[in-house]
Structure 1
Amino acid sequence: MKYIFSSLVILLSTITGTAKAEPTAGPIVDPTSICNGGVCSEQMNNIVDGYKEGSARFLDQSLIGYSGKCFHLSPNYNSGKAHHGGFVFQKDESSLGISGIFSFFYEEDPLADMTSQEMKQHFEERGSKLSPAKQNEDNVELAHIFDETDIRYSYRSDASKKNLFVIGSTSDKGGNVSSAVFCKMIRHQ
C-alpha cells in the first residue's frame, strides 16, 4: 500500500494508551535546528529557509488543504528523493484539527487535483481523522506524544499563504531526533 497514515499513530496511541496515564512530553525540538551539522539535502535546507521566513497566520478559512513534495531524513529513504504528502486544517472559534497522509514513490502528487473538502474525505476514507492541534504566534503544531517517542509537525506559510512549509520530527524523550520530514506544499481550493 502506498499510503502511510498519520492516523495510524493516533490509533496505536489509543489502543496502547487506554489503560495508562498520559505520557509526558519530551523537550520540543526546534525544527530549524534539525539540519545543523550538514545532515540534510539541499531540498531540505531550502524548506527550512522557507519555514524560517514563514508565518503561522495562514488559517484564514474553516477548511484548508495543502499538498506537495516531502523529503525524508531517515535511513529508510533517499533524502534527495521527493515523495508526497498532504494535510487539511479544520478550524472554528474554539478548536483546530489537522489530518494528513504521506504518499511514497509516486512520480506526481496524487492529491494535486483535489479540493480541500475532497482531500479531507479522501483522508477519512483511509483512516486519517482530525487530530487536535494548536496555533500559536510561532507556528501551527500537531503533536503525538507516546511513552518513548514524540512525533511533532510544525507548519508555517509564506506571506501569500499559497506555500506551506512543514517540518516533522520523531524524537526520544531526550530530544534526540531519529527521523524527520521536510515538505513544501501548495494550497488547494
Structure 2
Amino acid sequence: MTVLPNRDRRAERREATRREIVDTAWDIARSEGLAAVTLREIANRIGMRPPSLYTHFESKNAVFDAMFTDAYTQLGEAFAAMSLPDDPRAALLMSTEVYFDFATADAARYQLMNQPALPDFQPSETAYAASLSQYERLRSIMATVGVTSQEDLDLWTGVTSGFVNQQLANDPGGNRWRDQLPRLVDLFCHAVGIEPRGAEE
C-alpha cells in the first residue's frame, strides 16, 4: 500500500486565500484601474474583514508585488509554450507576436509590468527577479536568431514596446499595429544583418 505524505491543509488554505486576493486585485485593476486597488476594496469584494486580510498581505504594495510576480510568471508561461521554427526571421516574428498578444491582452497587467503607473510602488527584489528572468529568456530567444549585442537588444525592446503602447493607446482590441509586426521584423533583421534560413546558400 502506498502511503501518501500528510497534506498541509492550513498552508493550502492560506495559499488559496492569497490567490483569491491577487485575483480580486486584478479584477479591480482591470475594471477600475490600478489606483483603485486598495486592501479595503479587496476585502469588501471577497467578504473578508480588512484586519484578516493583513495576515496575508501587510500592505497594498505587497499585493502589487504579488501581482507583479504573477504577471511575469504568466509571461514566462506564454514564452514556454512556444515552439520556435528554425528560420530566424520566422522565429523572431513568432516570439514577437506571442509577446505582443500577451501585452495587449491586459492593459492593467502591462501597465503594472512596464509603466510607472504607481509612483509609490517599487517591486521587491524577489518580484524584480521574476522580471529579470523573463528578460534573460528574451535574451536567449534573441541569441537563437542571431541577436547577441546589447545595443541590438535595446533597439528591439524599444521598438516592440512602442508598438504595444501604440496599440493600447490608439487601437485597443484591434490589430492596427499587430498587422505591422512582419514589416517590423523585416526592417529590424535588415538593420542587424539577420538573413532568412538558406539565404546565404
TM-score range, shorter chain: under 0.3
Per residue, is there more helix in 1 or in 2? 2
TM-score (norm 1): 0.24
Q: TM-score, normalised by structure 2?
A: 0.23
Q: Kindly indicate which of the two structures has a greater share of residues assigned to strand.
A: 1
Q: Return the structure number with greater relative CO, CA threshold 8 A, min gap 6.
A: 1
Structure of larger gyration radius: 2
